[in-house]
Amino acid sequence: MTDNAPVGLLVALVAVLIVLSAFFSASETALMSLNRYRLRHQARAGHRGARVAERLLQRPDRLIGVILLGNTATNLAAATIATIIALRVVGSEWGLLVGTIVLTVVVLIFAEVAPKTLAALNPPRYALPSALVYYVLLKIAYPVVWVINLFTNGLLRLLGVRPDQIASHSLSAEELRTVVAEAGVMVPRRHQRMLLSILDLDAVTVDDVRGFMVEMAPRRPAGIGNVVWSLKRFFAFLNAAGLSDVRVDGLLAHAAPRRVRALPCFTREETGRLLEGIETGTPCGKRDYAMVVLAVSTGLRCCDIVALRLDEIDWHRDEIRLVQAKTSRPLVLPLSALAGNAVAEWILHGRPDCDAPEVFVRLKAPLVKLGNSTGSTLMRRRLARAGVDHAARDGKSFHALRRTTGTRLKTGRVASDASWQRIGQIA
């Protein structure tokens, strides 16, 4: 067939075969150079090419078999056709030598060095698409690949190698330390120090734990019990995971009892002065008054009041139906006449017209829900005007209104579950 074929056609066939050989060479290098951890991440993320590549790499003998089968076949075919071209163009005397030299240079540059270098520089770009091709080729040529692997695997077994035993790709502690240290800008320096500290856990001794407790005791005199509890739990996990042999139960057996600090609440006089000091003639005053009255009458947390939506107030039944932010539990609270009138006054005559679904919103653009610091800002502003003594960290915050409600329920000897449900303890 090739004896009568034009030389131009034969050259075109050789070019096609060189391109195929370049594909096999580049894809082989790319697949074998893939980062297995990145490949596993992409496969779990649903990338089709990554899933197929990961499956092919589970049996590298079969993958290498189909790659080399295609590469060898294309190279032999290209050599045969190149010999015919050389004999026609040069003649029988120098044709074989010239054809061999030319084809060697072409294959070496265009089918080996160049494609393999490109694949080594960016393995995923070439490996993931080629994995889909090899998956189909392996299905088609599986009988031939199976026979090839039968002989090659038998030869490897004679040399003491088990082809079915896949090499482990897990990292040792030192290898992981190198990866973290060389992460560069991809991992912030602070996070690098944290990760490297985790790898040094096996070097922690009892003296290190004792020194930490001595250092922390003056800083956390009231909460040292929490520190001890956390250390015990942490080292129990390290012991169970085999990350540390240090036993701290005996060292931390006798911890100082936690001191319970009685947090203050507002007296009835202070609560009255706080409400009387809020001017209700301005939109800001209407909003602050409604929030404080709502907190005192229901015991809601500030975060729940800030997040309260218009559709969570049932005006016909005088109820508030919401889901607590802290506990994620639904809660139904009665809406007193005083609180209902204050909220209605704010909505009708103080609240700006906006699309926000929350009851309490900002008075200036953007007209959205209030921020997390609303409670502290409100109390600083209103306590000073009400003449209530207040200092930093004295506990007289917006949350103290919730404690005030709870204290009144307790002193009033209301012991039913419904009473505690009013301040969101259970529900």
The one-letter code for the residue type at 371 is: G
Q: Give the per-residue pLDDT at 375.
A: 87
Tens of pLDDT along the chain (427 residues)?
555 678 888 889 999 999 999 999 999 999 988 888 788 888 888 888 889 988 888 888 888 889 999 999 999 999 889 888 888 887 766 777 888 888 899 999 999 999 999 999 988 888 999 999 999 999 998 888 888 888 888 887 888 777 665 555 555 666 666 766 666 656 677 766 766 666 676 677 878 777 877 777 766 666 677 777 788 888 888 788 777 778 877 766 655 555 555 667 888 888 888 899 999 999 999 999 999 999 999 989 999 999 999 999 999 999 999 999 888 889 999 999 999 999 999 999 999 999 999 999 999 999 999 988 888 888 888 888 888 877 666 677 888 888 888 777 766 644 444 444 555 543 3
Report the candidate in 299, 310, 312 with the shortest Cα–Cα distance to residue 426. 299
Report the candidate in 202, 165, 196, 172 with the shortest Cα–Cα distance to residue 182. 196
Dig out the tokens for 1 from the structure.
Answer: 């067939």
Report the distance separating Cα 138 and Cα 148, nearest Å.
13
Q: Give the per-residue pLDDT at 159.
A: 81
CATH topology assigned to domain 268-421: hpI Integrase; Chain A (1.10.443)
Report the distance separating Cα 213 and Cα 207, nearest Å.
10
Residue 157: partners with Cβ closer than 8 Å, 6 or more residues away:
163
Q: Give the per-residue pLDDT at 261.
A: 58
Q: Give the per-residue pLDDT at 344.
A: 95
Q: Give the per-residue pLDDT at 175.
A: 63
- Residue that the structure tokens 């009568």 belong to: 4
Q: How far is CA 424 from the centre of its chain?
A: 32
Question: Domain spans of the chain?
Answer: 7-158, 204-260, 268-421
Report the distance separating Cα 158 and Cα 166, nearest Å.
18
pTM surpassing 0.75? no
Residue 140: partners with Cβ closer than 8 Å, 6 or more residues away:
none
Strand pairing partners for 320?
313, 333
Q: Give the per-residue pLDDT at 152.
A: 84
Report the distance separating Cα 200 and Cα 202, nearest Å.
5
